[in-house]
């Protein structure tokens, strides 16, 4: 029926009415908090381009994990900063590597906190690429063995979930096979299934020192204009054994999130990446925007688009704001 019989504004008159008819509700249960861990003790080095984000030594990481648990955030995603980088990313799959040490320490103190580990080589290689390099080419198949070894090392340390972010073909199958053969059938895989070659990653690369030393990552990460290709990538990862699929970045790819949600009956994660975070922080620090409202609106939009899980550097702030009501 048309106006004046139908008046949609009636359901917007009062806050409690708006609450009753609200279609999408962001909760702390939706959040994963990314953390960066580095060698040493008492280290809390700020990431200049990401206010509020730090590279933490394992002892400081435990203090941060305690805050995460206190806020009710269900999980964290760990990235490691090695002592040394080399051509074959040896610390990535070293059982005494920085991520492996951090996982053991966190699971000992906070066994119920879900610990997810990023599985990639770019933080650990001297050339900054996500795979084995030979004569300037990133080799797919030789990289799979190193990724599987890395995931298996994380599982031995106690990781609940591994998250391959490299975008090599076949890496989910290689990791699933390695985990299962070693008896880690219960360790799940959250695949960076549709990861685009995005300009939004800049601040992250500062945080972990992973910028490529030559070329770029467009030969393995996805071309931003492509949507149908994302659905093919997601379907392949599911077929290979992914338990959760991820779209990265989030903000400029919410159409991909919606298509993934409509096409696949699997949990969908999004990564609210460093560049998205940094833009909001920069504008908020200058007083140009209301940070709380913008962040909550942005993350609600990600959930409305179809995301079940939101990986975000805003997670602690959001958990506090949701608790405050």
Structural domain boundaries of the chain?
A: 23-324
Of 195, 281, 303, 316, the catalytic one is: 195
Of 14, 107, 248, 303, the catalytic one is: 248
Told to judge if 107 belongs to the known catalytic residues of this protein, a careful annotator would answer: no
Is residue 200 pLDDT above 80, yes or no?
A: yes
Residue pLDDT, tens place only, 276-286:
999 999 999 99
Percent of the chain's residues with pLDDT above 90: 85
Residue pLDDT, tens place only, 63-113:
999 999 999 999 999 999 999 898 889 899 999 999 999 999 999 999 999
Helices (H), the chain: 15-20, 58-70, 98-109, 140-157, 171-181, 202-208, 228-240, 254-263, 274-285, 291-305, 315-324
217 belongs to an annotated ligand binding site: yes
Is residue 146 pLDDT above 70, yes or no?
A: yes
64 belongs to an annotated ligand binding site: no
149 belongs to an annotated ligand binding site: no
d(CA 19, CA 63): 35
Please state which of the four CATH numbers 3.40.50.720, 3.60.150.10, 3.20.20.70, 3.30.360.10 is assigned to the domain occupying 23-324: 3.20.20.70
Instruction: Provide the phi-psi class of 197: left if phi over 0, else alpha when psi is between -120 and 50, else beta.
Output: beta
233 belongs to an annotated ligand binding site: yes
Is residue 212 pLDDT above 80, yes or no?
A: no
For range 268-282, the mean pLDDT: 97
- Measured in degrees and rounded to the nearest 5, phi and psi for residue 45 equal -90, 120
Told to judge if 195 belongs to the known catalytic residues of this protein, a careful annotator would answer: yes
For range 253-274, the mean pLDDT: 98
Which pTM value belongs to this model? 0.95
């Amino acid at each position: 029926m048309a106006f004046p019989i139908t008046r949609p504004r009636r359901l917007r008159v009062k806050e409690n009415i708006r609450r009753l008819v609200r279609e999408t509700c962001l909760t702390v249960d939706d959040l994963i908090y990314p953390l960066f861990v580095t060698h040493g003790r008492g280290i809390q080095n700020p990431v200049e381009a990401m206010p509020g984000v730090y590279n933490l030594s394992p002892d400081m990481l435990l203090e941060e994990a305690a805050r995460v648990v206190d806020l009710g955030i269900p999980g964290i995603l760990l990235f490691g900063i090695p002592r040394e980088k080399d051509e074959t990313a040896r610390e990535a799959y070293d059982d005494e590597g920085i991520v492996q040490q951090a996982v053991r320490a966190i699971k000992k103190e906070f066994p119920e906190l879900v610990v997810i580990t990023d599985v990639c080589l770019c933080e650990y290689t001297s050339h900054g690429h996500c795979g084995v390099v030979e004569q300037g080419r990133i080799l797919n198949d030789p990289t799979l063995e190193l990724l599987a070894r890395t995931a298996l090392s994380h599982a031995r340390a106690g990781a609940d979930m591994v998250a391959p972010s490299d975008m090599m073909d076949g890496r989910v199958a290689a990791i699933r096979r390695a985990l299962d053969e070693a008896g880690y059938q219960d360790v799940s895989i959250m695949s960076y299934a549709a990861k685009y070659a995005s300009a939004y990653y800049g601040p992250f690369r500062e945080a972990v020192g992973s910028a490529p030393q030559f070329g770029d990552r467009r030969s393995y990460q996805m071309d931003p204009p492509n949507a149908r290709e994302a659905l093919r990538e997601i379907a392949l990862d599911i077929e290979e054994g992914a338990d959760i699929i991820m779209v990265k970045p989030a903000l400029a790819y919410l159409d991909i999130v919606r298509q993934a949600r409509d096409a696949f009956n699997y949990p969908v994660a999004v990564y609210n990446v460093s560049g998205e975070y940094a833009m909001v922080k920069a504008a908020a620090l200058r007083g140009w925007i209301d940070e709380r409202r913008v962040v909550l609106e942005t993350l609600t939009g990600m959930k409305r688009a179809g995301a079940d899980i939101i990986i975000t550097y805003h997670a602690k702030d959001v958990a506090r704001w949701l608790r405050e009501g």
